Chains A and B, each alone.
Chain A
């Protein structure tokens, strides 16, 4: 489990930040994206996949969450 931060990117999409490794990537897909249920599997454009427990859609981004990495560590 690692702390991550999700923020709105300048281009309008979501961006993913993992402070521990200073890893910044944009989120290419998010599993659940409805007002009640938001989160699940996050697919990153660098090939990594992370899982966050689904929550109600946050009123304001950025938000820090706990995430679990699925699969091997990406560079």
Chain B
């Protein structure tokens, strides 16, 4: 199928919306758009960050997911208590593959689940005592932890427990920071508010704790902000920056530590990968400490080269020279990868539906492989994300915000991409429809995808997904003859 025209795409949106009741149709129509690169402001044609419609199958998370799962969770040397009933903590445990170095249970706690396991009596009488006891137990059992964060689940806000008071008392008792995070799941329309709340707690409880301490920084200090080390992403990014002659002081928050966060205000430049989840803290650091921030993109050689050069612009000539050396060193490796995979992947069409930064950042990596992204969308973006996306996407391609399961299926049926990039909930639906899917939340248990090393893995993964012979065997043998007969007759 060739690329659709504007009218065809508009007709497709209208057709898909046809099944909704009048009010729902009107509401959903605002969240779907046909891309037009000439538009400066996305808000004129797409609405985002609104409450999902009741009754449609959204794939959004909650504020707790944004805070515990994304921002706080990967900080490895802290204990993150899921304060409330057991499920929230258990079902979000270790699923995101935020890799880290350390001995789990001794000095790092990334894949462990700590919860206060609320019961009826805790709802009735309050969970303060339980939390106090939990803090004492944690300190006794895991003395090498560097601090505790209390991640509230919904009931905490509903019964009005004063976790701030418990945190303050507990911090004095154990002599380590305890950070209460008011990230009850019902706050906000998606995980996005959870990111914001988590950033604000870092600002209020962590960031300024080492202000005024002796400064051992160099002029080349940077922090990687908004890289969660999914499958080792932050490591693949970090080596490139270090080869450029920069000193990476902190990783937020994949493989990160509390001390790294406290040292971040001393860096010279904040490098922001996931804008959506961590722009809040970089804005604050820009104002309070005068640290500029820069968004960068380490997916695919074209964007990496662009980003490395833009990062080097902030520093002196020695860094600029080293950046060029890095680019030159990896170029033969990139050329070999593109020579190998581009002929196999050329012209394939991809539809994406993920969150955070990926719906726009990955486009460049696909284009490097000769593939085309024909539809993209975010689960929980805001208008500023779409402002950035419009420029990255081709004209007349489809953009969807908070798409429901139904909408996404219908779009895929009509647009017929060669591949879909989304999550586990979508994976088996589309694979049963005969369309390969790569999970773009967890890199489908592969990774890293960032940096030059990541691109090699990315290219290989896309190839093994698309070239799998199984896609040629979608018709069962007993139906094959019928299909062939029909084909012959036609």
What residues make up the interface of A, taking CB atoms closer than 8 Å to B?
5, 7, 17, 19, 22-24, 45-46, 60, 62-64, 75
Contacts and interface: CB of A to CB of B under 8 A. Distances in A.
Contacts of A75: 43, 47
B interface secondary structure, majority = helix
B47 to A, nearest CB: 7
Given A7-B283, A19-B196, A24-B384, 4 more contacts: A19-B283, A46-B43, A60-B290, A75-B47
Contacts of B196: 19, 22
Contacts of A45: 41
B49 interface: yes
Contacts of B192: 22
Nearest to A64: B287
Interface in B374-412: 382-384
A19 B287 CA distance: 13
Nearest to B286: A62
A62 B283 contact: yes
22 contacts: A5-B283, A5-B287, A7-B283, A7-B287, A17-B283, A19-B196, A19-B280, A19-B283, A22-B49, A22-B192, A22-B196, A22-B382, A23-B383, A24-B383, A24-B384, A45-B41, A60-B290, A62-B283, A62-B286, A63-B287, A64-B287, A75-B47
A5 B41 CA distance: 20
Listed from nearest, the 8 A-B pairs whose CB atoms lie closest are: A62-B287, A24-B384, A22-B382, A62-B286, A75-B43, A46-B43, A64-B287, A5-B283
A61 to B, nearest CB: 8
Contacts of B43: 46, 75
Contact of A7 (B41, B286, B384): B286
Contacts of A60: 290
A39 to B, nearest CB: 17
A52 B280 CA distance: 22
A7 B286 CA distance: 9
Contacts of B290: 60
Interface in B284-339: 286-287, 290
Pick from B43, B47, B280 the residue with the most CB of A within 10 Å.
B43
Contacts of B47: 75
A10 to B, nearest CB: 9
A44 B395 CA distance: 27
Contacts of B49: 22
B249 to A, nearest CB: 22
A15 B47 CA distance: 20
